[in-house]
Homo-oligomer: A and B are copies of this chain.
């Protein structure tokens, strides 16, 4: 079973059960969005890292802690939100060295503090495989969460940074979640849709297009590639944790792009456009791509 099929099951079996108007985005986006107080919506995300899947046995626990936090913060960033609080599930083998556990907790606390994030509770259990789950709550101004489903025909498609090679370079362990960048983009470009890139642009672009009932039309030559990466690797490598956003042409200006790039020292690249829905979620240089994206689950 593929990850998307599992998410499909969740969508099928988990009925909302909330009062009408309370849930504005359920399963299928980077975060769920729920009405909070008069001013804000609550965004909620949950990401798990498993030894052997998301990091190799022997990875220093500081790096694991950092990645656990960053993947969750990246989801909150993608909604245009600000992190608020989190709970941790720490499932570890009984014989885990004290030193390893201690370093993990210390690093997670220190990193969380940098982002003004409070870790307020959780669970510690014994498990055969080290499995870490962080659930993160964030806030976003009421009605302002940036969903995957908001893209419109003719919107421009942008990505931040350079894609590909994150496993090889170790960047999947050390990337910076694009929180400040996302807030700046939300404010200045008013994107119609935004998400973070975890499964590769090919896979994630398709998801955004499907959610918006459109097709994403990508130009291979425009895709910003990390050093030493071919196009295929840049499009399918996964774990980029850059932002993918669609922007109505009237909200874009070269001046603002230059401003962004200077302010954050980060490229913002036009890679395509949203077009009316055709036979595919995503086209690469006018054709349905032969490559498949990165799958965290299943084959």
Contacts and interface: CB of A to CB of B under 8 A. Distances in A.
A297 B124 contact: yes
Contact of A13 (B15, B91, B109, B117): B109
A85 B122 CA distance: 16
Interface string A8-50: 0110111111100001001101011010111000001111111
Contacts of A166: none
Interface stretch (A100-108, A155-163, A244-252): A100-108
Contact of A17 (B34, B113, B127, B299): B113
Contacts of A31: 121
A218 B50 CA distance: 42
Most buried by B among A9, A52, A101, A129: A9
A102 to B, nearest CB: 6
SS class of chain A's interface: helix, strand, loop or mixed?
Answer: mixed
A46 B44 CA distance: 14
Contacts of A116: 17
Given A14-B119, A108-B14, A124 B6 contact: yes
Interface of A: 1, 3, 6-7, 9-10, 12-18, 23, 26-27, 29, 31-32, 34, 36-38, 44-54, 84-85, 87-92, 94, 96, 98, 101-102, 105-106, 108-110, 112-113, 116-129, 131, 133, 135, 137, 296-299
